Copies of this chain bind each other. A is one copy, B any other.
Amino acid sequence: MSSNCALILAAGEGTRMKSSKPKVLAEVLFTPMIDLIIRAAKEGGVDNICVVTGHQSEIVEEHLGGKYRTVKQEKRLGTGHAVMQAKEFIKEHLHENILILTGDCPLMDSATVKAAYEAHVTHRNAVTVISAKVDNPFGYGRIIRAKDGKFKRIAEEKEATQAEKIINEVNSGAYWFSCSVLLDALEGIVAMHDKKKLPNVEYYLTDAIEVIIDKGLTAMAYEADSPNVVLGVNDRIQLMEVNEIARKEVLFKNMLNGVSIPSMDGVVISPDAKIGRDTVILPGTIVKGTTVIGENCTIGPYSIVEDSVIEDGVTLNNVHCYSSTIRKNAKIGPYVRIRPNCDIGEGVKAGNFVEFKNTKIGSHTSVAHLTYIGDADFGSNINVGCGCATANYNGKEKFRTKVDDNAFLGCSTYLVAPVNVGKNCYTAAGSVITEDVPDNSLAIARSRQVVKKNWIIKKKPYKWQK
């Protein structure tokens, strides 16, 4: 794609969102809308991006983190006025084309951006309006075409005739402009505003199209495949609807790729996740970020997997897993939390009420119940009894624990880090291990049992005894 640029309009207040945050940071599939728009532009082939901020510009700029140029629209005087703020940016790209996107239409996609660009350059358009056909066009600018199908103009809701109102091809608010034409047209918008003697000082970008057509330049409307590209988010019901459309689109794509999702209830999958064939995703499972899941896994119900690698044949039943790797055929759950930086070995079984953190667990080790292992390196074929834990923190620092292959940790073994348990070792139930245990040894740290006979009869400690 030849050189070009994009302008993203992200100045709006979004009053109906009833938010203390800028509207463009509202999330769709856990991603702020502005990021989705920027991605559509970038994956659509645009390198230079400028964002027009306005309402709470400092928050938007902080979010962008200096990665994109910004200009501020001090007063919100319409989309045309927003574009005017970026005059310098447009001038710098005078011989290019510019993509204009609105920051609150999060379902605009890169394929549409690219295809519209193709149409734009192929037909040497001065401007290409991205349009779409929708079920209910109310409120949108209608695309008015001549009998031969050629784009004529946009009729806004309030100025549309009855005949125009039933037209269901509408303006998405996204455009490709020739930069030089756009610059000229911005002047024209002001002149047109003055001529029309409009009551409010508001400049609309759609007027630029009128200006361009008046000059006899080529304007075209490119109809996108999906009606969703026009969907704007103005309140949180619309935000939910857009989330639901985006959610189902990703789920359908995964199903067609060979992933079984018997019910979509509560299932959310990131568009960046990759999931292998014959894997089953059960209800209530949320897959976030750049997670990669292999084939023949069963994920869910009610699991969260974020930025993790899950190899083939893994079961995650009611598991929360963050930034970790789970190797082949591991069976995890229910009620297990895997915190960042874990590497859980092949064939590991981790049962209920178990937590791992910053830990490596070797293959075929079993951690069946009520156990916490943090900051630790566990070998293979270890059996961890019920109610064990690493005591990795002493109030000041965190230390690591090491347990070697084939060890057997009796129930309620507490390993006070830093400490090493050698190969084949055995710890007695109820032991607090504070010193290293050499290979092949038994470690025991508990008191002998004492029985006081008939103590109950003398003491009667129960309320239900007479």
Contact = CB atoms under 8 A, between A and B. Distances in A.
> Which applies to chain A's interface (DSSP): helix, strand, loop or mixed?
loop
A268 B256 contact: no
Contacts of A457: 440
Interface string A239-271: 110011001000010011111111111101000
Protomer copies:
3
Contact of A20 (B278, B372, B396): B278
A418 interface: no
Interface in A1-44: 16-21, 26-30
Nearest to A408: B395
A403 interface: no
Interface stretch (A56-64, A97-105, A172-180, A421-429): A421-429
B355 A383 contact: no
Interface stretch (A69-77, A222-230, A448-456): A448-456
B260 A284 contact: no
A301 interface: yes
A262 B411 CA distance: 42
A378 to B, nearest CB: 16
Which of A355, A383, A438 counts the most B-chain CB atoms under 10 A from its CB?
Answer: A355
Contacts of A314: none
Contacts of A355: 351-353, 369-370
Interface string A295-315: 110000110100000000000
Q: Interface size bucket, A side?
A: 35 or more
Given A27-B260, A369-B372, A370-B370, A437 B451 contact: yes
A200 interface: no
Contacts of A19: 258, 277-278
A195 interface: no
A461 B406 CA distance: 11
Nearest to A391: B411
Contacts of A252: 237
A260 B259 CA distance: 29
Contacts of A18: 256-258, 277
A220 interface: no
**Residue among A239, A302, A459 facing the most chain B CB atoms (10 A cut-off):** A302
A447 B397 CA distance: 24
6 contacts: A244-B263, A247-B263, A301-B302, A370-B371, A443-B450, A444-B450
B454 A440 contact: yes
A461 B236 contact: no
B389 A372 contact: no
Contacts of A454: 440-441
Interface in A331-386: 334-335, 337, 351-353, 355, 369-372, 381, 383, 385-386
A430 interface: yes
Nearest to A258: B18
A183 interface: no
A389 B412 contact: yes
Contact of A449 (B256, B386, B435, B455): B435
A137 interface: no
A438 to B, nearest CB: 6
